[in-house]
Amino acid sequence: DTGVSQNPRHKITKRGQNVTFRCDPISEHNRLYWYRQTLGQGPEFLTYFQNEAQLEKSRLLSDRFSAERPKGSFSTLEIQRTEQGDSAMYLCASSDKQGVTYEQYFGPGTRLTVT
Amino acid sequence: DAKTTQPPSMDCAEGRAANLPCNHSTISGNEYVYWYRQIHSQGPQYIIHGLKNNETNEMASLIITEDRKSSTLILPHATLRDTAVYYCIVRVSIIKSTGGFKTIFGAGTRLFVKA
């Protein structure tokens, strides 16, 4: 247990429905990241928050995706009008700068299946 | 471009040392080598990192060659629970000088520990 929690752990939805995932980072970490991982691949970066500010978004994050971190603590990732290609593991990570090194602590992920 | 080369899979006998190689011939002078692992259906777990000196912690040892073009992660006494995908990472993309960063994962090495 890294201290990063994600809910739900699994989500099955029908194509066209909206889904929302939640991430609770390690409490003292002000940086939060979302990644997506498809089968057999390493995680791919989606977006980054420093406190409540969303400072970076990948081109993988289409207009149907939106992420928030309203109070600089937990974050939500919403996918609107889901498509089958959205089926993946969605991972959240948090970090705090330690010197000049960069370690991230990942949650267990939310596995999304779009039918 | 993950900047690392790892074998796609390796086997190791339980109780023996697992030595996982990584080639990073284009590493820059100030880039660290990080290792993460991902056990099936979980998020990646940070293991260890190093710059030029060998490093050891409670999980593993990291041996970096003098020219820094390759490294080896050593699990001294592998157990069945060490079966996982191991990622060697040297590329950390800094986001807008805010201290945020995105970890660029490759495909990793799938380690099978056998009884």
Q: Residue A30: what pLDDT?
A: 87
Q: Residue B2: what pLDDT?
A: 54
Residue A45 and residue B44: Cβ atoms within 8 Å?
no
Q: Residue B115: what pLDDT?
A: 94
Residue A48 and residue B95: Cβ atoms within 8 Å?
yes
Residue A12 has pLDDT above 90, yes or no: yes
SS3 state of residue B81: helix
Residue A103 has pLDDT above 60, yes or no: yes
Rounded to the nearest angstrom, the minimum Cα separation between A101 and chain B is 7
Contact status, residue B14 vs residue B80, Cβ threshold 8 Å: yes
Residue A50 has pLDDT above 90, yes or no: no
Least CA distance to A91: which residue of chain B? B43
At residue A9, what are phi and psi to the nearest 5 degrees?
A: -80, -30
Please give the span between the terminal C-alpha atoms of chain A, in angstroms, as a whole number.
Answer: 30
Contacts for A36 with CB less than 8 Å, ≥ 6 apart:
A43, A44, A46, A60, A88, A89, A90, A91
A 14-43 residues with CB < 8 A to B: 31, 33, 40-43
pLDDT digits over A52-79, tens only? 999 888 888 889 999 999 988 999 999 9
Residue A101 has pLDDT above 80, yes or no: no
Question: Which of B32, B42, B49 has its CB closest to that of A108?
Answer: B42
Under DSSP, the state recorded for B32 is P
Gap between the Cα atoms of A50 and A64, Å rounded: 22
- pLDDT tens for each residue of chain B, 115 residues long: 558 999 999 999 999 999 999 999 988 887 889 999 999 889 999 999 998 889 999 999 999 999 999 999 999 999 999 999 999 998 677 666 666 777 888 889 999 999 9
Cα–Cα distance list, A80 to A8, A34, A57 (Å): 17, 16, 17
Contact status, residue A47 vs residue A67, Cβ threshold 8 Å: yes
Q: Residue A97: what pLDDT?
A: 63
Share the mean pLDDT of chain A.
91
**Banded model confidence at residue A108, pLDDT cuts 50, 70, 90:** very high
